[in-house]
Structure 1
Amino acid sequence: MIKLLLLLFTTVIFSQEEYLVSIPATSYTEWVYFSLETNDIVLIDYPESSLEWDLAFQRKHIKTNSGLSGPGNGGAYVDSVGNLDSGSFTWLDEWENLNNFPEYGVWLEDTTQYDFYDLQTHTMVEGIKNPALNSWGWFNESYQLVPTNYVMFVKSADGNKILKFWAYDYYNNNFGGNISIRYQIIEDLSNECNNSSGDVNNDGILNIIDVVTIVSFVTTSNEDSELLCGADFNSDGIINIIDIVSIVSEIIN
C-alpha cells in the first residue's frame, strides 16, 4: 500500500473518527481507492486481491471491498424507507441521532451493475460496484446529479468497522466526479478481546509465568491492550487480585 504523495483531497476532522472528505474521482475508467485505516487515498496494484483498501470511487460509482470487487468482508446498507413520523429519513435530519446499525439492516456486497457510461460508444455498459451505495444520488433531466442524502452505512474491508456514510455532493467548481463524503465510525471490533484465559504470554500453557506477568501488570499499571485482554480472567474489564487468585486456583486445580 502506497500513499499518494500529492494532496489530492482535503480532510476536515469534525471530532474523533469523523471526517469530511472530497474524492477526485473524475476518470471514467480508473478507480480511486480509499483506506479507512489511514483516511487517505491509496494506490493499489491488484485491488481484486488486496485488503489494503475499503472504498473506491469512479465518477458517481462507489465500491466496497466485498463481493466481486475484492476479497474483503466489506459491504453497504441503505435505509431509504422513510420515517413514518417525519415523512423523511435522510442524513439531513438523522446524522446526529443515528449512531447504531439498525437491527433489520442487511449488508449488500458488490455486484455487477449496468449503468457505467462508455465514452467511446456513448452507451451504458456493465461494471462492478455496490448496489446499496448506487442510490446516493441520481441525475435529473438536466444531467445534474442530485444527492438523495439517504441514510447509509458501510463496513471496512476487514469487517471490523461499521461507519455512518454520507455522500452529499458530486461537484467541485461545477466539475463532476468530485464526490464529497462524510463518515464516522460507530462500531469498531478491532480491539475486541478474544482471550481472557489468563495465558497472557500466549504460549498455550497457563502457569506461574502468567501469574508473575499479571502481578507485574497490576503493580506497574502496564497499558498493553493485548496483555490486558488475557489477564482479565473474569472478563469484568478490571485487572486485580481477583484475577490473580482465580488464575492460581485454575493452575492448582
Structure 2
Amino acid sequence: MKRKLLIILLLSSIYMQDEYLFTVPATSYSDWIYFSFTTHNVVNIQDPDNSLDWDLAFQRKHIRTNGGLSGLGNGAAFVDSVGNLEVGSYTWLDEWQNLNTVPENITWLEDTELNDFYDLTTHTFVQGIKNPALNAWGWFDATYALNPTNYVMFVKCANGQDIVKFWAYDYYDNGAGGNVSIRYQTGYSFECPNLAGDMNGDDSINVIDIVALVTMILSGTIQSDVLCYADYNQDEIVNVLDIIAIVNYIVG
C-alpha cells in the first residue's frame, strides 16, 4: 500500500510543477532539522531564532513554523480535523486533488508550548515549543507506532505571505522513525484585505494611516495578518522605512 501511494505521489509531482515530495531526516530527540519552501530542501541555520531563511523545523514527530515562540517570522499553520470546510471532508486522502484554494476565514495557529516532548533521561513528557495545528498530523497508538491522520493542513511561510498546501503522510524510512515524508504545493498566497499602507481599511492612504503605523511599530507587536499592508515597501520588515515611503506617497 505504501509503495502504491509513493508511486501515485511521484506521478503527481511530474505533472504539477508546484508540487514537491521530500523526506525530512528528523530522527534526533534533541536537534531540529530546518526546511525551506524556497529551496525545497533542508537548510543549515546557525541562529534559527533570528532567521527568515527557514519555514518549518522538524524533530521526530514535532513540527515548528517560523513564527510565534519559534522564530521572528510570521509563520503559522491551519488544520481541519473535524470537517469544518465547505467540502465536508477533512483529510487529504479525499481532498488533495479537489481543494486548490486557501479556505476563507480560517484560524491560523502560531507556535506555542506543548507538554508532549519525550525526555530520554527521565522517560517523561516535558514542555517544548511547536505548532499546535501541525501537531495533529499523526498520533502514536498503544504499540508506539505513529499513525498519520492525513488532516487538511495549510502552512504560512516565514514571510507571512506565501502559503503552502501541506501533507505529512509518513514517519518511517525502512522502519526507522523520525523520517517525516511530506507532500506540499506552493503557489498560494495570503489575500491582503487592504491596500498597501491603508492601515484602517478605509480604501485611502493618509495621515491617519501613518499614525496607526507608527503606533503599531512602537508597540513592538505586528500581527502576520496586517503585514501585507503595513509593509508598504514589501521588504518583509515593518519599520520606519515604511513610514517614510507612505509619507512620500502622500506628499506626491
What's the TM-score once normalised by structure 2's chain length? Answer: 0.68
| Residue aligned with 1:166, SS | strand
Q: How far apart are residue 161 of structure 1 and its match?
A: 0.9
What secondary structure sits across from 1:48 in the alignment?
helix
Alignment match, 2:70: 69
Contact (CA 8 Å) 1:35, 1:41: kept in 2 or not? Answer: yes
Give the match's secondary structure for 2:114. Answer: strand
Superposed, which structure 2 residues align to 1:92-131 within 5 Å?
92-131=93-132
Contact 1:99 1:186 in 2 (8 A): no
Q: Deviations over 1:193-229 (max 9, x none)?
A: 97xxxxxxxxxxxxxxxxxxxxxxxxxxxxxxxxxxx
Q: Match of 2:26? A: 25
2:167–2:183 CA contact under 8 A, matched in 1: yes
Shift of 1:103: 1.0
Bigger mean CA offset, 84-93 vs 60-69: 84-93
Give the letter for the 1:48 counterpart.
D
What CA distance in whole angstroms lies between the structure 2 residues aligned with 1:164 and 1:42? 20
Would you say the 8 A contact 1:62–1:129 is kept in 2?
yes
Residues 1:44 and 1:85: Cα distance change in structure 2 (over 3 Å): closer
* Partner Cα distance (1:21, 1:167) in 2: 10
User: Structure 1 residues 84, 188: CA separation in 2 closer, same or farther (over 3 Å shift)?
Assistant: closer
Return the alpha-carbon distance in structure 2 between the equivalents of residues 40 and 113 of structure 1.
Answer: 27
Aligned residue in 2 for 1:80: 81
SS at 1:93's partner residue? helix
Superposition CA RMSD, Å = 2.4
Distance 2:87 2:133 in 1: 23
Q: 2:35 is paired with a residue of what secondary structure?
A: strand
Deviation at 1:96, TM superposition (A): 0.5
Higher helix share: 2
Q: Which residue of 2 aligns with 1:47?
A: 48
The 5 Å alignment of 1:124-203 reads 124-188=125-189
Structure 2: state its 5+ residue gaps. Answer: 1-8, 197-252
Q: Is the 8 A contact 1:138 1:147 kept in 2?
A: yes
Q: When the two structures are aligned, how many residues end up with a matched partner?
A: 183
The residue that corresponds to 2:239 in the other structure is: none
1:89 deviation in Å? 2.0
Q: Using the alignment, how far apart are the partners of 1:121 and 1:55 within structure 2? A: 28
1:83 is displaced (CA, Å) by 6.8
Give the drift of 1:188: 3.7
**Please, which moves more after superposition, 79-88 or 127-136?**
79-88
Compared CA separation, residues 78 and 44, structure 1 to 2 (3 A): same
SS in 2 for 1:146: strand
Q: How far 1:16 sits from its partner (Å)?
A: 1.2
Identity fraction in percent:
64
What 5-or-longer segments of structure 1 have no aligned partner? 1-10, 195-253
Partner of 2:237: none
1:84 CA drift (Å) = 9.2
Q: State the shift of 1:38 in Å.
A: 0.5
Contact 2:89–2:95 (CA<8 Å) still a contact in 1? no
Q: Which whole-Å CA distance do the structure 2 matches of 1:42 and 1:28 have between them? A: 18
* Contact 2:85–2:103 (CA under 8 A) maintained in structure 1: no
Residues 92-147 of structure 1 show CA distances to partners (whole Å, capped at 9, x for unaligned) of 00000001111131110000111000111111011100000000000001110000
The whole-number CA distance in structure 2 between the counterparts of 1:134 and 1:182 is 16
Distance in 1 between residues matched to 2:53 and 2:87, nearest whole Å: 40
Relative to structure 1, the CA distance from residue 51 to residue 85 in structure 2 (aligned partners, 3 Å threshold; closer, same or farther) is: closer
Distance 2:105 2:43 in 1: 33
- Post-superposition Cα deviations, 1:151-201, rounded to whole Å, max 9, x if no partner, equal 0000110012111100000000010000000000241479xx97xxxxxxx
Q: TM-score, normalised by structure 1?
A: 0.68
Return the letter of the residue paired with 1:168.
Answer: Y
Aligned to 2:250: none
Letter in 2 for 1:154: V
**Higher CA-based Rg:** 1
